Amino acid sequence: MPCLLKVALNKEESDEVQKEVEIALQALRCISRDYSVKKELYLNEIKEIIEYHQEHHNLTRLAYQSAWGFLINRFDKDKSLEEVIINELHFGREATRELEELSRNVNWKKKEEKIVGKEKEEILLAGCLNVIHDFFEYCRLWNEEYVGLINSLVQLFRAAKDNHRGISNWCIYSLRKAAENRFVKVEDLLKGGAVEAVLEEMQGRTVDDGMLFNCLQFFKNVSNRLEEEEKDEKEEEERKATKRKVFEKMEEEGCEDIITSFYEKFVFLNRRYYHELSLKISD
């Protein structure tokens, strides 16, 4: 790890050095989250790499993604990294910017091709979404930047849903992960447009069983969160207000009709995902 970080810290501006930096950061990203690594071995160096890029834009997109991927892989074993990732390095702001910039470079009207024919931007988008998914899975700290990130996922979903189902599916999966995270406020999911996006996916003609499961799991998680006990009367009032907003949005979008139309699929989904999904059909 120290050798790879030393290579990745090289700031010379040449194609050869840039390629070495990229390879070193990709290798670091491949270190499994199952391994516990003392942050003294990497934190100052990886912070310097990310902060220098934020100021000078010296890394390739793949290298920058890999730096974040490496750091977020360490999340699971060391929760003290959250303050650094969220409030010092501003992951939410950076991930939002990356999604928006990459999205502008994809031809959304062109049909998605097999992996060998994918454009570079599509592959980078998939990598970015993978990092965001991992972040939502392990994040236990939240700030206002993530409303923008949720909204970027929603906009990307809408751009991709007709011709790039792989990317749009990743967006819905990431939103489901956000809804699973009890530290993500339901109000922020509403503000970011996540509820509308998931309802849109459920109404789509091409929704498959796996994606339907993710959509139902999203609403199951939202429902569970809205039923959580609150600490005081003010929070209870806020929860009730948020619950009304969610129900109104679902009613606007015809969610009752959507769920009724999928009635017979519930049994199949419950059988296929029995270890993950517990649904009472009558509810």
Residue 283's pLDDT band (cuts 50, 70, 90): very low
pLDDT at 59: 94
Distance from chain centroid for Cα 42 = 24
Q: How far apart are CA 157 and CA 204, in angstroms?
A: 12
pLDDT tops 90 at residue 9: yes
Structure token pair of residue 133? 């998914």
Are 132 and 97 in contact by the 8 Å Cβ rule? The answer is no
> Within 10 A of 71 (CB to CB), how many other CB atoms are there?
25
CA angle 201, 109, 214 (to 5 degrees): 20
Q: What is the pLDDT of residues 63-109, one digit of tens each?
A: 999 999 999 988 878 888 888 998 899 999 999 999 999 999 888 88
The band of 282, judged by pLDDT with boundaries at 50, 70 and 90, is very low
Q: Cα-flanking dihedrals φ and ψ of residue 78, to 5°?
A: -140, 95
Q: Which residue has the higher pLDDT, 239 or 164?
A: 164
Contact 187, 242 (CB under 8 A): yes
- Is the pLDDT higher at 18 or at 185? 18
Q: Is the pTM above the cut of 0.75?
A: yes
Cα–Cα distance list, 73 to 35, 67, 204, 258, 270 (Å): 9, 10, 34, 37, 31
Please write the tens of the pLDDT for every residue from 241-267.
Answer: 888 888 787 777 666 666 566 555 555
Contacts 24+ apart (CB under 8 A), 251-255: 253/196, 253/199, 253/200, 253/203, 254/203, 255/199, 255/202
State the average pLDDT over residues 129-153.
89
Three-state secondary structure call for residue 162: coil
Tokens of 35: 């391994």
- Token pair, residue 98, equals 């990356």
